[in-house]
Amino acid sequence: MRSHTTVLRRSDRFELGLFQAVGQERGELRCAHARSHLIVIPRSVVAINQAGRGEKIASPVRAVFYNQGCPYSARSVCSLRETAVFIRVPTAVLADAIRPHDPRVDARGEQPLAFSDGPLSDAVFWQLTELSRHPTLPDADAVLASAVETILANAYQERLRRAPGRHGINDDVYVARAQELISLGLSAEVTLREIAERVGVSPSQLCEAFKRRLGMTPRAFRECLRMRVAATELSGRLGVAPLASRLGYTEPAVFASEFRRRFGLSPEHARARLRLHHPAGC
Protein backbone atom coordinates (compact mmCIF):
# COMPACT_ATOMS: atom_id res chain seq x y z
CA MET A 1 0.00 0.00 0.00
CA ARG A 2 1.31 3.44 -0.97
CA SER A 3 0.69 6.36 1.39
CA HIS A 4 1.43 10.07 1.34
CA THR A 5 1.10 12.86 3.89
CA THR A 6 0.78 16.52 2.90
CA VAL A 7 1.23 19.26 5.51
CA LEU A 8 -1.24 22.02 4.68
CA ARG A 9 -0.47 24.40 7.54
CA ARG A 10 1.96 24.45 10.46
CA SER A 11 2.18 26.72 13.51
CA ASP A 12 3.55 26.39 17.05
CA ARG A 13 0.16 25.06 18.22
CA PHE A 14 -1.19 22.95 15.38
CA GLU A 15 -0.35 21.16 12.18
CA LEU A 16 -3.10 20.61 9.63
CA GLY A 17 -2.52 17.93 7.03
CA LEU A 18 -3.98 15.52 4.52
CA PHE A 19 -3.26 11.78 4.58
CA GLN A 20 -3.85 9.58 1.55
CA ALA A 21 -3.20 5.89 0.98
CA VAL A 22 -3.96 3.68 -2.01
CA GLY A 23 -4.02 -0.10 -1.85
CA GLN A 24 -4.09 -2.77 -4.51
CA GLU A 25 -7.29 -4.42 -3.35
CA ARG A 26 -10.23 -3.58 -1.10
CA GLY A 27 -9.80 -4.83 2.43
CA GLU A 28 -6.01 -4.49 2.32
CA LEU A 29 -4.51 -3.98 5.78
CA ARG A 30 -2.25 -1.05 6.64
CA CYS A 31 -0.29 -1.16 9.92
CA ALA A 32 1.36 1.87 11.48
CA HIS A 33 2.14 3.87 14.64
CA ALA A 34 0.83 7.39 15.25
CA ARG A 35 3.87 9.66 15.19
CA SER A 36 2.13 12.36 17.23
CA HIS A 37 -1.14 13.11 19.00
CA LEU A 38 -3.79 13.28 16.30
CA ILE A 39 -7.39 14.30 15.84
CA VAL A 40 -8.41 12.77 12.53
CA ILE A 41 -11.40 13.59 10.32
CA PRO A 42 -11.82 10.62 7.95
CA ARG A 43 -12.94 11.30 4.39
CA SER A 44 -13.33 7.64 3.56
CA VAL A 45 -14.68 4.65 5.47
CA VAL A 46 -11.99 2.52 7.12
CA ALA A 47 -12.00 -0.15 9.81
CA ILE A 48 -9.51 0.96 12.48
CA ASN A 49 -8.08 -1.27 15.18
CA GLN A 50 -6.12 0.63 17.80
CA ALA A 51 -4.08 -1.63 20.07
CA GLY A 52 -6.24 -2.99 22.88
CA ARG A 53 -9.42 -1.22 21.76
CA GLY A 54 -10.85 -3.53 19.11
CA GLU A 55 -11.93 -2.75 15.57
CA LYS A 56 -14.20 0.23 14.94
CA ILE A 57 -15.44 1.89 11.78
CA ALA A 58 -13.88 5.29 11.09
CA SER A 59 -15.98 7.47 8.78
CA PRO A 60 -16.64 11.17 8.14
CA VAL A 61 -19.40 10.97 10.77
CA ARG A 62 -16.98 10.94 13.75
CA ALA A 63 -13.53 12.18 14.71
CA VAL A 64 -10.85 9.62 15.57
CA PHE A 65 -8.20 10.19 18.26
CA TYR A 66 -4.64 8.83 18.45
CA ASN A 67 -2.07 9.24 21.19
CA GLN A 68 1.53 9.51 20.05
CA GLY A 69 3.03 6.06 19.57
CA CYS A 70 -0.33 4.30 19.34
CA PRO A 71 -0.01 1.16 17.17
CA TYR A 72 -2.98 0.58 14.89
CA SER A 73 -4.16 -1.14 11.74
CA ALA A 74 -6.48 0.23 9.06
CA ARG A 75 -8.57 -1.87 6.68
CA SER A 76 -10.17 -0.18 3.69
CA VAL A 77 -13.93 -0.74 3.42
CA CYS A 78 -15.48 0.93 0.39
CA SER A 79 -12.61 1.61 -1.99
CA LEU A 80 -8.90 1.25 -2.55
CA ARG A 81 -8.30 4.80 -1.36
CA GLU A 82 -8.06 5.99 2.25
CA THR A 83 -8.19 9.74 2.83
CA ALA A 84 -8.30 11.82 6.00
CA VAL A 85 -7.69 15.33 7.27
CA PHE A 86 -5.66 15.39 10.47
CA ILE A 87 -4.73 17.88 13.17
CA ARG A 88 -1.47 17.27 15.02
CA VAL A 89 -1.64 18.72 18.53
CA PRO A 90 1.29 19.02 20.99
CA THR A 91 0.84 17.38 24.38
CA ALA A 92 0.59 20.66 26.32
CA VAL A 93 -1.99 22.17 23.96
CA LEU A 94 -4.04 18.97 23.98
CA ALA A 95 -3.90 18.71 27.78
CA ASP A 96 -5.10 22.31 28.13
CA ALA A 97 -8.14 21.49 25.96
CA ILE A 98 -8.92 18.29 27.89
CA ARG A 99 -8.32 19.53 31.45
CA PRO A 100 -11.68 21.38 31.90
CA HIS A 101 -13.45 18.07 31.18
CA ASP A 102 -10.97 15.64 32.74
CA PRO A 103 -8.54 16.87 35.46
CA ARG A 104 -6.84 13.46 35.40
CA VAL A 105 -5.27 14.27 32.03
CA ASP A 106 -2.03 15.43 33.67
CA ALA A 107 -1.58 12.04 35.34
CA ARG A 108 -1.68 10.37 31.91
CA GLY A 109 1.39 12.29 30.73
CA GLU A 110 2.10 11.52 27.10
CA GLN A 111 -1.18 9.62 26.75
CA PRO A 112 -3.68 12.48 27.16
CA LEU A 113 -6.48 11.03 24.99
CA ALA A 114 -8.54 8.62 27.07
CA PHE A 115 -10.66 7.20 24.25
CA SER A 116 -10.48 6.65 20.51
CA ASP A 117 -13.30 8.65 18.94
CA GLY A 118 -15.99 11.26 19.43
CA PRO A 119 -18.91 12.98 17.71
CA LEU A 120 -18.28 15.51 14.99
CA SER A 121 -20.82 18.28 14.38
CA ASP A 122 -21.81 19.41 10.90
CA ALA A 123 -20.49 22.90 11.64
CA VAL A 124 -17.01 21.69 12.63
CA PHE A 125 -16.90 19.21 9.76
CA TRP A 126 -17.63 21.97 7.25
CA GLN A 127 -15.13 24.36 8.85
CA LEU A 128 -12.35 21.79 8.56
CA THR A 129 -13.40 20.81 5.04
CA GLU A 130 -13.18 24.44 3.94
CA LEU A 131 -9.95 25.05 5.85
CA SER A 132 -8.29 22.05 4.22
CA ARG A 133 -8.98 23.72 0.87
CA HIS A 134 -7.82 27.16 2.03
CA PRO A 135 -5.22 26.58 4.79
CA THR A 136 -3.56 29.98 4.41
CA LEU A 137 -6.52 31.99 5.68
CA PRO A 138 -5.41 34.32 8.52
CA ASP A 139 -7.93 32.92 11.04
CA ALA A 140 -6.86 29.30 10.43
CA ASP A 141 -5.29 28.80 13.88
CA ALA A 142 -8.38 30.19 15.59
CA VAL A 143 -10.55 27.78 13.56
CA LEU A 144 -8.30 24.86 14.50
CA ALA A 145 -8.29 25.81 18.19
CA SER A 146 -12.08 26.07 18.24
CA ALA A 147 -12.46 22.79 16.36
CA VAL A 148 -10.16 20.90 18.74
CA GLU A 149 -11.90 22.30 21.83
CA THR A 150 -15.38 21.57 20.44
CA ILE A 151 -14.55 18.03 19.34
CA LEU A 152 -13.05 17.14 22.73
CA ALA A 153 -15.86 18.80 24.70
CA ASN A 154 -18.46 16.88 22.68
CA ALA A 155 -16.56 13.63 23.17
CA TYR A 156 -16.64 14.01 26.96
CA GLN A 157 -20.28 15.06 26.96
CA GLU A 158 -21.13 11.96 24.94
CA ARG A 159 -19.41 9.74 27.51
CA LEU A 160 -21.44 11.29 30.31
CA ARG A 161 -24.79 10.65 28.67
CA ARG A 162 -24.06 7.33 26.97
CA ALA A 163 -26.23 4.49 28.24
CA PRO A 164 -24.42 1.20 28.97
CA GLY A 165 -24.97 -1.88 26.81
CA ARG A 166 -27.66 -4.27 28.03
CA HIS A 167 -28.27 -8.03 28.01
CA GLY A 168 -24.63 -8.70 27.20
CA ILE A 169 -24.92 -7.03 23.78
CA ASN A 170 -21.57 -6.04 22.36
CA ASP A 171 -22.56 -2.71 20.85
CA ASP A 172 -19.27 -2.09 19.08
CA VAL A 173 -19.39 -5.34 17.11
CA TYR A 174 -22.98 -4.90 15.94
CA VAL A 175 -22.63 -1.21 15.19
CA ALA A 176 -19.34 -1.61 13.34
CA ARG A 177 -20.77 -4.34 11.11
CA ALA A 178 -23.89 -2.28 10.40
CA GLN A 179 -21.82 0.83 9.62
CA GLU A 180 -19.78 -1.19 7.15
CA LEU A 181 -22.91 -2.52 5.42
CA ILE A 182 -24.44 0.96 5.22
CA SER A 183 -21.21 2.40 3.83
CA LEU A 184 -20.95 -0.29 1.15
CA GLY A 185 -24.50 0.44 -0.03
CA LEU A 186 -24.62 4.18 0.52
CA SER A 187 -26.75 4.90 -2.55
CA ALA A 188 -29.21 2.08 -1.84
CA GLU A 189 -32.31 2.30 0.30
CA VAL A 190 -31.50 -0.76 2.41
CA THR A 191 -33.99 -1.17 5.24
CA LEU A 192 -33.16 -1.42 8.92
CA ARG A 193 -34.60 -4.95 8.94
CA GLU A 194 -32.30 -6.06 6.12
CA ILE A 195 -29.24 -4.63 7.88
CA ALA A 196 -30.24 -6.15 11.22
CA GLU A 197 -30.72 -9.58 9.64
CA ARG A 198 -27.23 -9.48 8.15
CA VAL A 199 -25.74 -8.32 11.46
CA GLY A 200 -27.60 -11.02 13.37
CA VAL A 201 -29.79 -9.00 15.75
CA SER A 202 -33.32 -7.67 15.75
CA PRO A 203 -34.04 -4.24 14.24
CA SER A 204 -34.87 -2.83 17.68
CA GLN A 205 -31.64 -4.19 19.19
CA LEU A 206 -29.58 -2.71 16.37
CA CYS A 207 -31.31 0.66 16.60
CA GLU A 208 -30.78 0.80 20.37
CA ALA A 209 -27.12 -0.19 20.00
CA PHE A 210 -26.62 2.56 17.42
CA LYS A 211 -28.17 5.13 19.72
CA ARG A 212 -26.03 4.03 22.66
CA ARG A 213 -22.81 3.94 20.67
CA LEU A 214 -23.24 6.80 18.17
CA GLY A 215 -26.14 8.84 19.53
CA MET A 216 -28.14 8.36 16.31
CA THR A 217 -30.17 5.78 14.43
CA PRO A 218 -28.82 3.77 11.47
CA ARG A 219 -30.93 5.91 9.14
CA ALA A 220 -29.49 9.12 10.61
CA PHE A 221 -25.98 7.69 10.27
CA ARG A 222 -26.55 6.98 6.56
CA GLU A 223 -27.93 10.47 5.96
CA CYS A 224 -25.04 12.11 7.80
CA LEU A 225 -22.48 10.02 5.92
CA ARG A 226 -24.08 10.88 2.57
CA MET A 227 -23.98 14.60 3.31
CA ARG A 228 -20.37 14.56 4.45
CA VAL A 229 -19.24 12.58 1.45
CA ALA A 230 -21.04 15.18 -0.67
CA ALA A 231 -19.32 18.06 1.14
CA THR A 232 -15.85 16.61 0.52
CA GLU A 233 -16.56 15.84 -3.16
CA LEU A 234 -18.24 19.08 -4.18
CA SER A 235 -14.94 20.61 -5.27
CA GLY A 236 -14.41 17.81 -7.79
CA ARG A 237 -15.40 17.51 -11.42
CA LEU A 238 -18.75 15.84 -10.82
CA GLY A 239 -21.67 18.30 -10.96
CA VAL A 240 -24.08 18.76 -8.06
CA ALA A 241 -26.95 16.83 -9.65
CA PRO A 242 -24.81 13.81 -10.69
CA LEU A 243 -23.22 13.77 -7.23
CA ALA A 244 -26.66 13.76 -5.60
CA SER A 245 -27.73 10.90 -7.86
CA ARG A 246 -24.60 8.87 -7.09
CA LEU A 247 -25.36 9.21 -3.38
CA GLY A 248 -28.89 7.87 -3.83
CA TYR A 249 -30.95 11.07 -4.08
CA THR A 250 -33.51 10.78 -6.87
CA GLU A 251 -34.58 14.41 -6.39
CA PRO A 252 -31.81 17.05 -6.46
CA ALA A 253 -34.08 19.42 -4.51
CA VAL A 254 -34.22 16.95 -1.59
CA PHE A 255 -30.43 16.70 -1.63
CA ALA A 256 -30.06 20.49 -1.72
CA SER A 257 -32.54 20.99 1.12
CA GLU A 258 -30.78 18.49 3.39
CA PHE A 259 -27.36 19.96 2.55
CA ARG A 260 -28.53 23.48 3.38
CA ARG A 261 -30.12 22.30 6.64
CA ARG A 262 -26.85 20.73 7.79
CA PHE A 263 -24.24 23.18 6.56
CA GLY A 264 -26.14 26.45 6.24
CA LEU A 265 -25.50 27.00 2.54
CA SER A 266 -26.58 25.50 -0.76
CA PRO A 267 -24.47 22.85 -2.54
CA GLU A 268 -23.74 25.36 -5.31
CA HIS A 269 -22.55 27.99 -2.82
CA ALA A 270 -20.46 25.39 -0.97
CA ARG A 271 -18.91 24.29 -4.26
CA ALA A 272 -18.00 27.90 -5.11
CA ARG A 273 -16.41 28.45 -1.68
CA LEU A 274 -14.33 25.29 -1.88
CA ARG A 275 -13.10 26.26 -5.33
CA LEU A 276 -12.45 29.90 -4.43
CA HIS A 277 -8.87 30.99 -4.91
CA HIS A 278 -7.19 32.72 -1.97
CA PRO A 279 -3.79 34.30 -2.50
CA ALA A 280 -1.25 33.16 0.08
CA GLY A 281 -1.61 35.02 3.35
CA CYS A 282 -5.07 36.39 2.54
* 3-state SS class at 136: coil
The answer for residues whose C-beta is within 8 angstroms of residue 40's C-beta and 6 or more apart is 19, 58, 63, 64, 65, 66, 84, 85, 86, 87
Q: At what angle do helices 203-214 and 171-184 cross, to 10 degrees?
A: 100
pLDDT at 163: 64
Question: What domains sit in the chain, N to C, each tagged with a CATH number?
Answer: 2-161 (2.60.120.10), 171-275 (1.10.10.60)
The pTM (predicted TM-score) of the whole model is 0.93
The single-letter DSSP state of residue 107 is G
pLDDT at 282: 38
AA letter at 181: L
Backbone angles phi, psi at 139, to 5 degrees: -95, 15
Question: Digits of tens for pLDDT over the chain (282 positions)?
Answer: 789 999 999 999 999 999 999 988 877 889 999 999 999 999 999 999 998 778 899 999 999 999 999 999 999 898 888 999 999 999 999 999 999 999 999 999 999 999 999 999 999 999 999 999 999 988 999 999 999 999 999 999 998 887 665 544 578 888 999 999 999 988 877 889 999 999 999 999 999 999 989 999 999 999 999 999 999 999 999 999 999 999 999 999 999 999 999 999 999 999 999 988 654 443
Give me the pLDDT at residue 233, please. Answer: 94
